[in-house]
Amino acid sequence: MPKQYDEPVSLKQTLTPEDYTEAFAQVAFFAAPMRRRSVRALVCVTVAAVAASFLPLCSGHGAARAVAAAVAVVFAVAAAAVWFLGPVLEKRRAEKWFRSCPLAALPSEITLTGQSAVIVTSCERLTEYWTDFTICVETDRLIAVAGGRERFLLVLKKDGLPPEEAEKLSGLMRYVFDGRWAGTAPRKGGS
């Protein structure tokens, strides 16, 4: 492991519902590309378009025309629902989870090494190993790591960290996750 990651990286943070919902949304976006709202909306629009294309062919058959029209309308509405309501429902789901877990909102001290993360709060001490996680997503504000054994989503806030510490944290996570890293923060150099 490169020498710059021999020293553990520590941070203290308190998660807010906004942090958690942003992390949740980012992980959902990158971990399941086929379930993105653009893909699902496109599938619905395609089905609607195919059903609508049958309408001229069914001019002599009332029942078939009605079925084709119904399918077109239903899937067009579904496409709109997926596009406009999808993010709202996802945010609500994340907020609901965060409200259900007061332990996640406690102030925490997190120590990160090349092998693991240790999260300590007033009630809990969790040790998570990087090999258990499936994906790491980095944005300008935070790093979200999904797939933990003890708690599924680990959120690391870059906000409030000194720039050198934030860079060190970012570098460590890119090194550890390598091919499992994804994100909207710019890559700087090699990991």
| Segment lying near other proteins (by CB under 8 A), choices 16-24, 46-54, 58-66, 146-154 | 146-154
Instruction: Report the residue from 65, 91, 151, 168 that binds other proteins according to the rule CB under 8 A.
Output: 151
Minimum CB separation from other proteins for residue 116, in Å?
Answer: 9
Q: Does 109 bind other proteins (CB under 8 A)?
A: no
Structure tokens at 101: 């877990």
Report the alpha-carbon distance of residue 29 to residue 22 in Å, rounded. Answer: 11
Q: Taking a C-beta distance cutoff of 8 angstroms, is the pair 121, 103 a contact?
A: yes
Q: Taking a C-beta distance cutoff of 8 angstroms, is the pair 149, 158 a contact?
A: no
Looking at the Cβ atoms of 84 and 129, the one nearer to other proteins is 129
Report the alpha-carbon distance of residue 91 to residue 17 in Å, rounded. Answer: 10
Strands 135-138 and 181-183: parallel
Looking at the Cβ atoms of 106 and 182, the one nearer to other proteins is 106
The number of beta carbons lying within 10 Å of the beta carbon of residue 125 is 11
| Segment lying near other proteins (by CB under 8 A), choices 9-17, 58-66, 70-78, 117-125 | 117-125
Please state the separation of Cα 51 from the chain's center in Å. 33
Considering only residues 66 to 105 of the shown chain, the ones binding other proteins according to CB under 8 A are: 96-97, 100-104
Minimum CB separation from other proteins for residue 158, in Å?
Answer: 24
Looking at the Cβ atoms of 55 and 101, the one nearer to other proteins is 101
